[in-house]
Structure 1
Amino acid sequence: MTTARGGATGAVLTPVVLGPRLKYLGLTAVLAWHYCLWFVPNAFPTTFLLDDRITFAWLIALAAAGAVPLLLARRLGRKRHLEATAIVVWPTAGLGAAGTAVLTSVGMTVHTRWVAYAAAFVVGACAGVLWLLWGERFACQNARFTLGRVAPTYGGFLFAAVAVTYLAPGWFAPAFVCLLPLLSGLLLRAHVRALPDSPYPRLLPAKAATQGTRTMVTVSVISFAASAVLYYTVAIVPWESLGAIQDAFTYGILLGAALVLVFALAQRLPGSRSPYRVYPWLLLCALVSCVLYLADERLDAVAFLLALAISSVFEVLLTMYMGVLTQKGYAPPATAYSLSGSAIRFGICAGNGLALTYERVPAWHATLVRPTFVLLVVLMAFLLITMVRQEYKIEELTRSPQAESELVAIINAVAEEFRLSDREREIMALIGQGYSASAVAEKLFISPYTVNTHVQHIYGKLSIHKRSELITYLHRDS
């Protein structure tokens, strides 16, 4: 009976985790868990969404969700991976669900706040681990991160999850939120069963990956700063400017999901360009949200909604970008996904924390809020210029097929790192250009036997077993 149930479950979930669009459902469930918990008022039936206890719990969860993936990625390094085994997935998903249950119920009613804060830390840490696990699995699956594939699942599921949480009566709302990490864990295990032996992308030699690493760090730093600016705007807008304040958070998240869907539709138009060309426009929108706040208090609600929506778009695009670079071998999955999640989470924490500090000190609020906004406008202008200058590099790294100059640089870096002889480097370069063994022999005026001997030496030094693996490694064309 158990085997039959497992087979039936696998038959249902396998098309989901292997589908071109639905395979992103598990990662989307992690994001939906975050948004439904912290941005939909029904998730806390007994407490006002902007109560201090919830606010500080949120900051703790953000810090944990940012720090835990970075620490794990540092621990794993370039060689090891975080495997989605049952002993890792189920305790993580279960603790995340239990932490959510405690946070939304007992954590809001007991006298001490530390119950809520401890539960929030567990929620953030588990979300960070699930995030990394999905990054590792997508790397194995060779997932193609395009807006046309990611946006329908992200936008559609987020709309549905937020709607259920918003409309569910009483304790049904937090109960539904508790199910989201369990859904993500269930899909993770189904993914492992569907692709049990899929290999991870081979990393580029450190020297060849330098440009990609620098660009990843640049984009992450800019995303961190933009998130900080956006959530400073969100947190500093006076409550009375927002009307039904609790619902304003929900509307902002739904607007962000709608923008992602709009960008995906725009990508289908003739002559559309890389989705990463949107980055400068997002920074411009962040700058506009600051200007709206400074211009007129009647525009505070517009600034609030714009900032909240743009921040969620940043998160989706940054995750997609890191996913593409992982497939090309510029960084291990854990490193890339920890950067994408941590940059946004730490940015939100920094911006919200600064606004909260001003609110707690009336004298600072009266004198520093507007000057801070002026400084943030200058910062956004600087980041916008930086992003425009980096736009070509950002887009270039995601292009396929590969430029010939990049292939030459990779071949040289591989030869240096793995100590190939000049002849081995020469033969590897020709194989990378599509030459067969006999064609290589004819071009270099050597026997096919000699070519095959050199090829076997190359395979041994690179720990590669066949020609197709070598070509994929050199070209990085996901």
Structure 2
Amino acid sequence: MRDGIGALLGRIESTFKLRHIGIGFVWAWLYCVYGTPTPFDTTGVSINADGSWVVSAAAVVVAFFVGGFAFRHERVKPRSPLPILAPLALSLGTLFSFLGSVMGEVAVVSGGVLTGVGYALTSILWAMALAPVDIEELEAAIPLSTLVTLVCALIIPALQTEVAAVVIAALPLVSGALLIVCFRKDGVASMPDAASGAQAGLVSEEARQGESGHRLDRAWMRYLLRVSVLLLVIYLAIGWEAANFSSSNTFRVLNYDLVSLVSNSAAVLFAILLVLFSKRVSFSGLFRWVMPFLVVSLALFLLPGSFVRFGTSVINSTCDTLIEVLLFLFVLSLAKTHDASAGLCIGLANGFVQAGVLAGNLLGRFSASAAAPFDLQTMGLALIALIALAMIAIPQKDPVVDDPSTAGSSLAVDSVDEALARACLRIQERYGLSDRETEIAVLLAKGRTRPYIREQLFISTNTVATHIKHIYQKLNIHSKEELIDMVNSEASSK
């Protein structure tokens, strides 16, 4: 049995490195602070249940924007204390918030500032640490990072209040330890030039091919800002709905929050399916599947009934977790393929997300008060209309930017590509490959990655994997390296 478990872990480790799921401990911390009954006596749903939430929410917005621009060049020295200090601030802020009832208002405010700044900086650092990692590995690691939250949803409610507080405060420290390991093993989070980056192994193939300086060009910056505004609208609705969720509508069995268990399980499943079947890692490719569920959630929220409330909560929480995962994956893909600053991209996007959360919660508290000039139904319908407009505004295509770095080198490249293509055609005739399989074999022989093939041929990750499996079976080989050797041998023999 040990051998079987070891083999399973080996296969998982070959797909992605376990250290790459460290961001999951940050997401688990977020869930534990605002989605569990201990140690803060929250309702289990709303972010505004703890006394320090306003301070924390405001601090995290400022920290994301300031931190994103501060790290826009992605320069973190190998011995920088930031990978230690940011998670430590998050951990200390958690303890201060827990002790707020004993230590007073100063502890509450301090806890809010520390958690806000710590969460933002830790998230930015994780984006920078994962920037050098191949996108294929990230597509496995980032969705699976949510499993950490699911495990916490099973463990934390069973612990005593004081023990739960210590465990929650330890989550950022675990994340920080894995963050340091990533920086050391995957490279310093900087974007060097193409030549030095290739030698250091810090720049992906797509990033080298899409070299455009160390910042997003104007077209992509406008695209990112447009996406960020849409995220602001999405989280305005999510925050408003969460703020109006009554504590009497929580659903628990043996102190376990059923909403959290169901939504976290669903988010893991949906994230994996979206990565497998989306034809490209773009905002429209990933998020167009999410936004209709938000409209359904808001519509259900306006209806009475406990079961309706349960469905609403599950959809809302699932979308929240799913967007968190997809946003991180989208931003890293954007940063890698266009040689942009991962720190700046995640700072801008998450800054707008957190601004939406803050504004939505404040709007929710106001609309539920007697001073509001409109009722909840009217506000809910207005948000549905706003989400519908946002769905229309989702960018359907990524900006196209010409790459001047490839000019003047096409002749030599064409001659090599032509030789590889002729060799693959001969292999096709000999082994019975289909036209699509031959097309993919040519790209593999050129050293292209699976995400690159997906982008070029506009097919899903799952479809790419199926074609490659059939190619290997027909050629009786087991790896990309064997295919390259076979094609090169065929090309040199003629």
Q: Could you state the TM-score of these two structures normalised by the residue count of structure 1? A: 0.72
Alpha-carbon distance between aligned partners in 1 of 2:227 and 2:47, rounded to the nearest angstrom: 32
Alpha-carbon distance between aligned partners in 2 of 1:238 and 1:355, rounded to the nearest angstrom: 12
Say whether the 8 Å CA contact 2:267–2:319 is kept in structure 1. no
Q: Deviations over 1:96-144 (max 9, x none)?
A: 212211211x21334x433212212101211111111111111123443
Partner of 2:89: 95
Question: Deviation of residue 303 (structure 1)?
Answer: 1.9
Matched, 1:129 2:114: no
Q: Deviations over 1:162-207 (max 9, x none)?
A: 2221211231111111111111111122122323455355652489
Question: Deviation of residue 345 (structure 1)?
Answer: 1.8
Say whether the 8 Å CA contact 2:271–2:326 is kept in structure 1. no
Structure whose residues are more often helix by fraction: 1
Say whether the 8 Å CA contact 2:259–2:310 is kept in structure 1. no
- What stretches of structure 1 of length at least 5 have no aligned partner? 1-14, 398-405, 415-424, 440-470
Alpha-carbon distance between aligned partners in 2 of 1:220 and 1:145, rounded to the nearest angstrom: 25
Partner of 2:170: 179
The one-letter code sitting in structure 1 at the alignment partner of 2:408 is: I
Q: 1:398-417 counterparts in 2 under 5 A?
A: 409-411=402-404
Quick one: which of 291, 303, 307 aligns to 1:295? Answer: 303
Partner of 2:5: none
Partner of 1:211: 219
With 271-280 and 295-304 compared, the bigger mean Cα shift is at: 271-280
Say whether the 8 Å CA contact 1:38–1:58 is kept in structure 2. no
Q: Could you state the TM-score of these two structures normalised by the residue count of structure 2? A: 0.70
Alpha-carbon distance between aligned partners in 1 of 2:65 and 2:115, rounded to the nearest angstrom: 16
Partner of 2:433: none
Partner of 1:450: none
Question: Deviation of residue 338 (structure 1)?
Answer: 1.0
The one-letter code sitting in structure 2 at the alignment partner of 1:262 is: L
Question: Deviation of residue 381 (structure 1)?
Answer: 1.0
Question: Deviation of residue 306 (structure 1)?
Answer: 1.7
Q: Deviations over 1:257-277 (max 9, x none)?
A: 2223222553587x7644653
Alpha-carbon distance between aligned partners in 2 of 1:152 and 1:52, rounded to the nearest angstrom: 24
Say whether the 8 Å CA contact 1:27–1:184 is kept in structure 2. yes
Partner of 1:168: 159
Partner of 1:227: 235
Say whether the 8 Å CA contact 1:102–1:119 is kept in structure 2. yes
Say whether the 8 Å CA contact 2:45–2:245 is kept in structure 1. no
Alpha-carbon distance between aligned partners in 1 of 2:47 and 2:219, rounded to the nearest angstrom: 44
Say whether the 8 Å CA contact 1:159–1:257 is kept in structure 2. yes
Matched, 1:43 2:9: no
Identity %: 17
Q: 1:48-197 counterparts in 2 under 5 A?
A: 54-77=49-72, 79-83=73-77, 85-104=79-98, 106-110=99-103, 112-144=104-136, 147-154=139-146, 156-196=147-187
Alpha-carbon distance between aligned partners in 2 of 1:183 and 1:206, rounded to the nearest angstrom: 31
The one-letter code sitting in structure 2 at the alignment partner of 1:90 is: I
Say whether the 8 Å CA contact 2:43–2:250 is kept in structure 1. no
Q: What secondary structure sits across from 1:140 in the alignment?
A: coil
Alpha-carbon distance between aligned partners in 2 of 1:189 and 1:18, rounded to the nearest angstrom: 21
Alpha-carbon distance between aligned partners in 1 of 2:392 and 2:105, rounded to the nearest angstrom: 44
Alpha-carbon distance between aligned partners in 2 of 1:191 and 1:144, rounded to the nearest angstrom: 16
Alpha-carbon distance between aligned partners in 1 of 2:48 and 2:272, rounded to the nearest angstrom: 40
Q: CA distance change for structure 1 residues 207 and 321 in 2, over 3 Å: closer, same or farther?
A: closer
Q: Deviations over 1:242-283 (max 9, x none)?
A: 4559968x44443332223222553587x7644653422311
Question: Deviation of residue 59 (structure 1)?
Answer: 3.2
Q: CA distance change for structure 1 residues 277 and 252 in 2, over 3 Å: closer, same or farther?
A: farther
Partner of 2:422: none
Q: CA distance change for structure 1 residues 82 and 476 in 2, over 3 Å: closer, same or farther?
A: farther
The one-letter code sitting in structure 2 at the alignment partner of 1:300 is: R
RMSD of equivalent CA atoms: 3.8
Q: CA distance change for structure 1 residues 358 and 231 in 2, over 3 Å: closer, same or farther?
A: same
